[in-house]
Structure 1
């Protein structure tokens, strides 16, 4: 996205260095996607019980599988050791891991409260603990994928979101962890899936569409809602491939001749066309949609600048086209925002 679905910037790395590093990560990910098999201690020990040693081993394995940087892997391993060294923190983590393995359902708000409590008891960053507990849950999530006959590749691509959020947290706060761990629930409830470049889930047809004067297709009750992870360029051909995968994955939800795709995102803010070129990834992505609703709001500016916006546009960096465009907009008294968009495709064209 050039500027910044992922916002690959840090105070210590130049834009060029970060771009090279991010490109290397993407290439490693793509090579990994071409491989088969992600064996782990959990695969080898099914039915034999999972002890603390299993978890310690698995952390290293899953960090490697999800391409965590060496420093992040070490942070996760050390965090688990500190949790294990504190009886209360250890009990808290194990309780929720066992609950998830028992039935695959959790009160995720309570899980994160518990993780934060364990973090304080063990003396680790709460953002690290929040990511760590989900990292450990990926083992049972893989088993659930296998039980439901969903490919290991989809499991891997979906779990890679832990990596994307890991890097966002590092850029924002200098911590290996996640400050948006509430977001992971859809992946672990198996309602949200990464299918190629994009992530998708079914949702009810948005009421906002009809409220803005549009007519919902007769008999259509669902849409395929999409999310755009911060994992590099947003190419039109990659999006098209993802749309086809999503259409096949969720086809049973659409008994008619058409499939509906929906997105609510800062990426669909129409002002982008004023300062981004027509062939930019963001503008190309916008072109898929009938953007029928927009609102102003600066809450997503952190995605562009990798910092919380304090209302002072003068202090914002100007390293990329989108950063310069938004800074100019904010200096003139304008605001960022988001859009809601939808498009329809014929089944016969997608399957």
Structure 2
């Protein structure tokens, strides 16, 4: 690809519900003279063995040209146009492609909600979607990868064994039926010789401290019930951002819009991080 296909990019922005101000700025960046040479990174972004390194190289080149990340976004959406062909060649339906690439609008909206600015800051993550290593199947995402060595012992499996890491998008609906529909769909894409890889999740949503704050039947409790806790990290506080969406705000000023936020804020004010859990899927 030697130049951005602006009409195709515009059409994809509409399909993916990219917010208007971000889409306009992204397309303007794509039309600039400095943008076209960056397209040479696209083949590597679509190759699972090279995508992560290609993403780092692209970010390094885009950062001084576009601090808000929207030039980077233009390249990544161009890669998503090419990825659509790769998905189809693998037999991945277009609805799964669109759901997976929906991460772009979700990330833009999340960051705007947190900061009040239209910027793209998740390039470190979306190479997974572009190369097809991660798919959204219903309400959940599944990332195919060799089991990391540090998780092998707690999960009782060999390091490097085929595994699926479960991710919970910010707009996930955690009713039992929607969760189980996602797990059931795994077999369509990840079963090998009739067997599914070990499926696990490492997240603040599996923290025992968080569980104590939740009533039975809540969405997060529904999610927890499908996992056997294999290990947990009481010092991990990564869930703070996802629960409160308030980077840089002192704990005492955190919002209290829900009972979970109120309980979590009380923990933080006591000097206790939310923690995170490592769970093995029971189903």
Tell me if TM exceeds 0.5: yes
- Per-residue CA shift, 1:180-231, capped at 9, x if unaligned? 211011111211111111111223345556634x6449xx933221111112
Structure 2: unaligned runs, 5 residues or longer: none
Alignment partner of 1:292 is 2:230: yes
1:247 Cα shift? 2.5
Verify: 1:331 aligned to 2:269, yes or no: yes
Indicate the residue corresponding to 1:96 in structure 2: 41
1:301, distance to aligned residue in structure 2 (A): 1.0
Quick one: higher RCO (CA 8 Å, sep 6+), 1 or 2? 1
Distance 1:97 1:209 in 2: 32
* CA deviation map 1:228-287 (0-9, x unaligned): 1112432221110010111332110765xx753200111111112222211111111011
Q: Tell me by how many angstroms 1:59 deviates.
A: 2.4
Question: Is 1:211 equivalent to 2:120 in the alignment?
Answer: no
Deviations 1:43-76 (A, max 9, x none): xxxxxx7644xx2212221111001233332232
CA distance in 1, matches of 2:44, 2:185: 32
Counterpart for residue 197 of structure 1: 139
TM-score (norm. length: structure 1): 0.71
Structure 1 runs of 4+ with >6 Å offset: 101-104
- The answer for the alignment partner of 1:144 in structure 2 is 86
| Larger Rg computed on CA atoms | 1
CA distance in 1, matches of 2:92, 2:274: 38
Q: Quote how far apart the aligned CAs of 1:290 are.
A: 0.6
Aligned CA-pair RMSD: 2.7
User: How far apart in 2 are the matches of 1:79 and 1:51?
Assistant: 12
Kept in 2, the 8 Å contact 1:108–1:182? The answer is yes
Aligned equivalent of 1:179: 121
The answer (yes or no) to whether the contact 2:204–2:238 under 8 Å persists in 1 is: no
For residues 98 and 7 of structure 2, the distance between their equivalents in structure 1, rounded to whole angstroms, comes to 18
Size of the alignment, in residue pairs? 279
What is the TM-score with the length of structure 2 in the denominator? 0.87
CA drift at 1:127: 2.5
